[in-house]
Structure 1
Amino acid sequence: MEGYSRRGLLKACGFTDEELDRPLVAVVNSWTNIVPGHIHLDKVAEAVEAGVRAAGGTPFQFNTIAVCDGIAMGHNGMRYSLPSRDIIAASIEIMVEAHKFDGMVLIGSCDKIVPGMMMAAARLDIPTIFINGGPMLPGFFEGQKLTVSKGLEMMFGAIMFGLPEETVKELSNYVCPGAGSCQGMYTANTMGCLCEALGMSLPGSATVPAVDARRLRLAKQTGAQIMKLIEEDIRPHDILTYEAFENAIRVDVALGGSTNTVLHLPAIAAQLEIELPLELFDKLSRETPHLCDMDPAGPYTVKDLDDAGGISAVLKELGESIHQDVLTVTGKTLKENLKNVKVLNTHVIKPKGAPVHKEGGIAILKGTLAPEGAVVKQSAVDQKMLKFEGSAKVFDSEEDALKAIMNQKISPGEVIVIRYEGPKGGPGMREMLWPTAA
């Protein structure tokens, strides 16, 4: 009787007996028309659903919340972004446990959404596959290639040098030309790339631009692949092993990726009782060369990385330092996936023997300022600044620091320290791109 009662409720939604006799797949979407990385995910979800149906399953779609860190940046709303990660994970857990789906496809793009979804995947441990929305194309203004970080720097520069407001407004027309996660190797694209490196998304899927038709074809293939994962009972714990996390960290530091991975990868791993201490990030970064000079520190966008062969090519170049025998959502090992992969542009993905830097992008520092550890993107630090002595100006909030910068109260050679902005002190650990851009 219980089964027929549930069936009756689902029939009220228009589902037939034939559909309800198939595997039931949760399609977890984070579409919203607020966030550029998510404005097209309704179309991606439609393609995923088509793939699920073609492979013999029945898709059920529900949504999560999604915060755009760029829009939330620079005001009190940024305190809500990091907590949203855990709310996303909990909301997915609630929906999946309440409705007992057989498998799950996760669709996300931006900073806290992707790790929140991956936390839910690890926690629920039902057959799961992830597809991201893809990167935004670079913008162009007066012949210059633009990314979000470079555009923001130009906007602040225009304001500080007293250029007309019309100039800044004109620039804003070209920085973000359309759908996709911001063009460089910021948190959103880094986490998308690491989902592929972990083996939780199909090879090649992380770097395909949002507006490329390949994105929709990959979405259909992703929908079909979840049916194979259900059939073979391949679950996240089979894929998200300690070795897979080591692979992801190595890819992160080879890309010069976001330091926020030091927050997110341990949170995902913790769902499976796997520990990733700070010291592991430091160790692997010292052993792994920095291969890709990606924006914001370098000239290349994620589209450039895609043209060069994507994450598969980075994994291929890392070679023996990568655990090759780990399982992926293809149902094959990473070694099998990489068999015919080649690096297509050695300017974008440098050879191991001639890297951008000999060490990877992340360093963990300890000292009197941070006795338990501080995270630095060393690939973005000028060599002249690796050893530095000077005076510091200390601020108790982002707003105070930005005001001093904009009023030109900071002299060359002075260090800016912003305190009381951590997870507890903030609260919420606001990201502070505005002071760094200014």
Structure 2
Amino acid sequence: MSLRSNFAPGSTPWAMRRAQWTALGLSDEDMEKPKIAIVNSSSGLASCFSHLDGVVPPLMAAIRAAGGVPFEVRTAAPSDAITSAGRAGQYILPSRDLIANDIEVAVEGALLDGMVCLASCDKTTPGQLMAAGRLDIPTIVVGCGYQPSGVYRGEHVDFEDVFLYAGHVATGAMTVEELAEMASVAVSGPGVCAGMGTANSMHIATEALGMALPGSTPVLANSPRMWADVERAGRRIVELVAEDLRPRQILTEGAFRNAVTAVLAISGSVNCIKHLQAIAVEAGCDVDVLALFEELAPQVPLLTGVKPNGERRIDEFEAAGGAQALLYQLRSLLDLASPTVAGATMGEVLGGAVVADAETIRPVDDPLARHPGITVVRGSLAPEGAVCKRTVADDGVHRFSGPATVYSSREEGLAGIRNGEVSAGDVVVLSGLGLRGSPGMALTSAFVFALDGAGLGDQVVVVTDGQMSGLVNKGLVVAEVSPEGAVGGPIGLVRNGDRITVDVDARTLELEVPEAELARRRAEQPPLSAPRGCGWLSVYARTVSPLARGATLGG
């Protein structure tokens, strides 16, 4: 086959490559084979990635057995649990684009022929898919599994419980000793968080896109199924290179409709919206993902309730058939002609799907609930949209109107809770936390959990241009308000006492302040100055595009 990794004998690139690769033990025959990158987003900082180095050797063996030559390349490996400590979580979202650029430098710089990407924590999957769309070389994404959980005082406990109850400690509703005991047993092995947070949501969305092998998500990390999927991927990537089946042939509008449908059916992470949009931008697919969520939300019922959306665990969802069973139940709503990395269409792939437990993954005509798992709201406070997450029970507040209490950071808000500044009936506005203002879109979940710990979770609404964790959510939260305050969005003009009304059913978010007053406030706003410096967040702030383009780089 014709391979881009092979150069004319006697040329300078051929000679340099031969010298380097001979020293690595490659033979003359190897030099002519498909060269496959194993993209390992691994780190010793968190259990999310601690098993990935062990995945590489058997994957290499499978690629060699199939007639390819594997090369391991490394990328940044951010963990929301660990990397969020610095700069109030501002490094988290920008790390996604750093991963994509890491891959471009290593894989495009070396002109390798294909990639197998080892996906783990939240930002690795979208970063790898963005790179796949950008480079457009044959790629398979392998979801490397969720972590096993533990038992705390006789009850099941996992990482999302630790995340939630840390907010209770901040308000005195739980002791440090109790939280320490819970944290020490919540995670009992490697892998991503064991709930329907961003990681598992994006793994499932990847299979719905057609970029993961059928039946590979979700999966328990280091389980026999995971190892079988790794071997399958090693064999299949060499075939994929021979077939020249590329991501841009797979990442079509139909594929994104399928992914949005799957995310809605599981009430997946709201972070999937910006990640899917970023992947579409990088793949050159002209699709408005936010508009797809708005269009499809009324049509797609909730088919499963995995924690934190319901009472089911992720291992029960996997046992019920996982993403394949979910997509099979959704088949009447899917684009079945969409191609997949398996070499078959989505319809052909789903012909062999099995739903092992129709109570855990329900059919479309007998769902758990019919309200949207994710609701996009718009209005005078969010002209370009904002997002709300809804659980299966959906027993919280749907319409709320109250006076604004405004803070410009998560820390200010936490101090406000401790000082008794936040009262029942308030709409708490956390502004200036968006892509440019933060920069990097700061995490605000700790504030929401502290509200819950203070007994105000269902009595206060939070509105922010920052982001929420995809793992857990409490109360009514309207996040990712766009345009953000730092670039002149109305959320940056809100003052204490202004009345704000949110109506989830009507899909509206309104700031009840006369336009003349808003114009006066806008005129008083200092212009946004571009940050200086060589640091990654400074570079990100100068180059990041709006949420409508998935917060990709390049303006």
1:152-200 Cα offsets, whole Å, 9 max, x none, are: 2234334533654322211111122220100111111111111111111
> Measured at CA, do residues 151 and 5 of structure 1 come closer, stay the same or move farther in structure 2, by a change above 3 Å?
closer
Contact 2:45 2:82 in 1 (8 A): no
> Measured at CA, do residues 371 and 419 of structure 1 come closer, stay the same or move farther in structure 2, by a change above 3 Å?
same
Q: In structure 2, what is the equivalent of residue 346 of structure 1? A: 358
State which of 119, 134, 153 in structure 2 corresponds to 1:108.
119
Contact 1:266 1:275 in 2 (8 A): no
Unaligned runs of 5+ in 1: none
What SS is found at the alignment partner of 1:174? helix
CA RMSD of aligned residues (A): 1.8
Alignment-mate amino acid for residue 51 of structure 1:
A
State which of 415, 422, 436 in structure 1 corresponds to 2:427.
415
1:144 aligns with 2:155: yes
Q: Which of the two has greater helix per residue?
A: 1
Cα displacement (A) at 1:86 = 1.2
Aligned pairs (5 A) from 1:288-437: 288-379=300-391, 382-437=394-449
1:293-337 Cα offsets, whole Å, 9 max, x none, are: 122222223222101100000000012111111111111111121
State which of 197, 201, 205 in structure 2 corresponds to 1:190.
201
1:128 aligns with 2:162: no
Cα displacement (A) at 1:141 = 0.7
Cα displacement (A) at 1:409 = 4.1
Cα displacement (A) at 1:221 = 0.9
State which of 55, 60, 63 in structure 2 corresponds to 1:44.
55
Larger relative contact order (Cα-Cα within 8 Å, sequence gap ≥ 6) = 1
Q: In structure 2, what is the equivalent of residue 68 of structure 1? A: 79
Contact 2:248 2:284 in 1 (8 A): no
Deviates more, 1:138-147 or 1:264-273: 138-147
Q: In structure 1, what is the equivalent of residue 244 of structure 2? A: 233
Write the distance in 1 (CA, Å) between the matches of 2:368 and 2:421.
35
Aligned pairs (5 A) from 1:86-97: 86-97=97-108
Following superposition, which runs of at least 4 residues in structure 1 exceed 6 angstroms of deviation?
A: none
Q: In structure 1, what is the equivalent of residue 130 of structure 2? A: 119
1:156 aligns with 2:167: yes
Write the distance in 2 (CA, Å) between the matches of 1:407 and 1:305.
42
Q: In structure 2, what is the equivalent of residue 33 of structure 1? A: 44
Unaligned runs of 5+ in 2: 1-9, 451-555
1:206 aligns with 2:205: no
Identity of aligned residues (%): 37
- Over alpha carbons, which structure has the higher Rg? 2
Cα displacement (A) at 1:71 = 1.8
Cα displacement (A) at 1:50 = 1.4
State which of 285, 290, 295 in structure 2 corresponds to 1:274.
285
Cα displacement (A) at 1:398 = 0.7
Contact 2:88 2:443 in 1 (8 A): no
Alignment-mate amino acid for residue 170 of structure 1:
E
Question: Normalising by structure 2, what TM-score?
Answer: 0.76
What SS is found at the alignment partner of 1:69? coil
> Measured at CA, do residues 328 and 163 of structure 1 come closer, stay the same or move farther in structure 2, by a change above 3 Å?
closer
> Measured at CA, do residues 408 and 15 of structure 1 come closer, stay the same or move farther in structure 2, by a change above 3 Å?
farther
Deviates more, 1:180-189 or 1:16-25: 16-25
Contact 1:73 1:432 in 2 (8 A): no
Q: In structure 1, what is the equivalent of residue 478 of structure 2? A: none
> Measured at CA, do residues 66 and 311 of structure 1 come closer, stay the same or move farther in structure 2, by a change above 3 Å?
same
Cα displacement (A) at 1:406 = 4.3
Write the distance in 2 (CA, Å) between the matches of 1:331 and 1:319.
18
What SS is found at the alignment partner of 2:330? helix
Question: Normalising by structure 1, what TM-score?
Answer: 0.95
Write the distance in 1 (CA, Å) between the matches of 2:394 and 2:351.
37
> Measured at CA, do residues 319 and 301 of structure 1 come closer, stay the same or move farther in structure 2, by a change above 3 Å?
same
Alignment-mate amino acid for residue 115 of structure 2:
M
1:382-432 Cα offsets, whole Å, 9 max, x none, are: 445111122332211011112223455433333322111000111110222
1:98 aligns with 2:109: yes
Deviates more, 1:128-137 or 1:272-281: 272-281
Write the distance in 2 (CA, Å) between the matches of 1:413 and 1:323.
44
State which of 218, 221, 225 in structure 1 corresponds to 2:232.
221
Contact 2:305 2:392 in 1 (8 A): no
Deviates more, 1:388-397 or 1:414-423: 388-397
Q: In structure 2, what is the equivalent of residue 59 of structure 1? A: 70
What SS is found at the alignment partner of 1:356? coil
> Measured at CA, do residues 65 and 375 of structure 1 come closer, stay the same or move farther in structure 2, by a change above 3 Å?
same
> Measured at CA, do residues 381 and 416 of structure 1 come closer, stay the same or move farther in structure 2, by a change above 3 Å?
farther
What SS is found at the alignment partner of 1:376? strand
Write the distance in 1 (CA, Å) between the matches of 2:322 and 2:60.
25
Write the distance in 1 (CA, Å) between the matches of 2:132 and 2:416.
43
Cα displacement (A) at 1:52 = 0.3
> Measured at CA, do residues 276 and 357 of structure 1 come closer, stay the same or move farther in structure 2, by a change above 3 Å?
farther
Contact 2:302 2:392 in 1 (8 A): no
Deviates more, 1:154-163 or 1:399-408: 154-163
